[in-house]
Chains A and B, each alone.
Chain A
Amino acid sequence: MKWSLNAIARLGRLFLDGAQHAGSMAFFALELAWVLIPTWSRPRDIFQQIYAAGVLSLVIILVAGGFVGLVLGLQGYNILSNFNASESLGVMVALSLVRELGPVVAALLFAGRAGSAITAEIALMKTTEQLAALEMMAIDPMRRVIGPRFWGAMISVPLLAAMFSLVGIVGGYLIGVVVLGVDQASYWGQIREQMEAWDDVAGGAIKSLAFGAVIALISVYEGYRAEPTASGMARATTQTVVLSSLAVLGLDFVMTAFMFGA
């Protein structure tokens, strides 16, 4: 009896904590929205963050994209050749990457590589009173620290996803055409014929833009609200990766259902 009551109480607390977290993040998002445009009065700050978050993530994104393309080429060839349809390999690889794998995998990798770094950096600035120092210098940390990092992450994710897909398609080409002997003209030709600019390319771009916004928001929020201790920082960075990954996967399902479902 007591045990089951405790379990229910714990469930309730979990729910309340979750609701509180979501609520405080929503308020934070409003506060952030207020400074997003003024942040552009210092474009250099934003370009610096695009470099730190985006350019420095290029290696992991490109390598991962290449491998995913290679694997897609191999697996796709094995399945398609059962149906004598191996000339469709190109479009299969391209559609998988542009619609799904590019936006999703790039976003997951970005959350681990750059999102956690953004959280850690902001949390450390908070722990060492650098944010308080900014406030007392009459400089708004939202504008100066949080805004540029949000923009940097949000702009980087779609660009990285595009590069991920591009490298992946080349990887599929290497395995399919160069190694396994699929006809080169049909690999590229089918991609050109069957891929739709709006449905496929724009759909993927919209997805990764949304993923970028969500990861950026979670990363800066977790850093800004981190408990100013060593364990608080550790929790915040972990939380960024976990929440971002779950949010990306969940959002991906919802967006896919709306865009490609019917």
Chain B
Amino acid sequence: MNNSRTNTDMIELDGVTFSRGAQVIFDGVDMRFGRGEVTVVLGPSGTGKTTLLRLIGGQVRPTNGRVLVDGAEVARARRKALYLLRRRMGVLFQNGALFTDLTVGENVAFPLRAHSRLDEALIRRIVLFKLEAVGLRSARDKYPGELSGGMARRAALARAMALDPEIMLYDEPFAGQDPVSMGVLLRLIRRLNDALGLTSIVVTHDVTEAMSIADRVIVIAGGRVIGQGTPEEVRAQREQEPALAQFLDGAADGPLNAAEEEIPLSADLGLRGER
């Protein structure tokens, strides 16, 4: 039995290892995501933050270990159970992933039409309500190509919320956003989480912004967890973990890019050294 497991955790990773070919992306990580909380997962680019979301969504299976969503093991779920589980999750993809041949309104209506037998008048109301929540009601007849990056992301957020999920996964929601739309998104994530009682996971590398809305923070680097807790606790852990300190400070030199220097430049250039 796992003692640390409590029923306040919505999502748990138990000793999860994941590798792609020879490259180990996660090396036996444990993570907890509390019910009703906004958890921010931080880490340098290429540390498998997106892979983490794909593990939770069951799009990839861990090589070892278990991923539990509300007590159910994702990798063990049969197709039908997995699809039922996914209906309880909303995902905001990095670039929105809106269907480009549908208008914003139709995009939001899409999951409703696919999974419910609601009549059109009701679907229209729900769509307007969801778009209102992200401040895009007036853009309902526009096509995704006509939206700015920030608007597209909010439209995608409205679509992700269409089925009233219990869990929201955000994949790099702030990448490439100007400061204003970033602020809008930050507030939106926090507000939706609290108003609807969601469990939110935000994967990002924007340290200060994300920390400002986080209940809990998990920092991953090099396939393992290098810091976790409330934002204050994580900031306090920097003393014991040089990599964490480097990441939080954005320092150019430190353990995070040590691998870069393992092979001397002269060797890569094919020089035989001084002889």
Contact = CB atoms under 8 A, between A and B. Distances in A.
A102 to B, nearest CB: 32
Interface residues of B, number: 20
Nearest to A42: B114
Contacts of B95: 128-129
Interface string B78-120: 0000011011010101110111100000000011001100000
Contact of B99 (A130, A132, A135): A130
Contact of A128 (B57, B87, B100): B100
Nearest to A133: B97
A136 B91 contact: yes
A135 B56 CA distance: 13
A137 interface: yes
Q: Find the residue from A128, A135, A136, A144 having the highest chain B CB count within 10 A.
A: A136
Contacts of A139: 111, 114-115
A23 B57 CA distance: 28
A138 interface: yes
A137 B59 contact: no
Contacts of B94: 129
Contact of A137 (B98, B100, B114): B114
B167 to A, nearest CB: 11
A132 B59 contact: yes
A interface bracket (residues with beta carbon within 8 Å of B): 10 to 19
A151 to B, nearest CB: 18
A138 B99 contact: no
Interface in B106-145: 110-111, 114-115
A128 B111 contact: no
Contacts of A130: 97-100
B93 A138 contact: no
B68 to A, nearest CB: 18
Given A129-B93, A129-B94, A129-B95, A136 B100 contact: no
Nearest to B94: A129
A250 B216 CA distance: 61
A133 B83 contact: no
Interface in B41-100: 57, 59, 83-84, 86-87, 89, 91, 93-95, 97-100
Question: Which A-B residue pairs are the 10 nearest by beta carbons?
Answer: A129-B97, A133-B97, A138-B83, A138-B86, A136-B91, A129-B93, A137-B111, A138-B87, A139-B114, A130-B97
7 contacts: A128-B100, A129-B93, A133-B93, A136-B86, A136-B91, A137-B110, A137-B115
Interface of B: 57, 59, 83-84, 86-87, 89, 91, 93-95, 97-100, 110-111, 114-115, 163
Interface of A: 128-130, 132-133, 135-140, 144
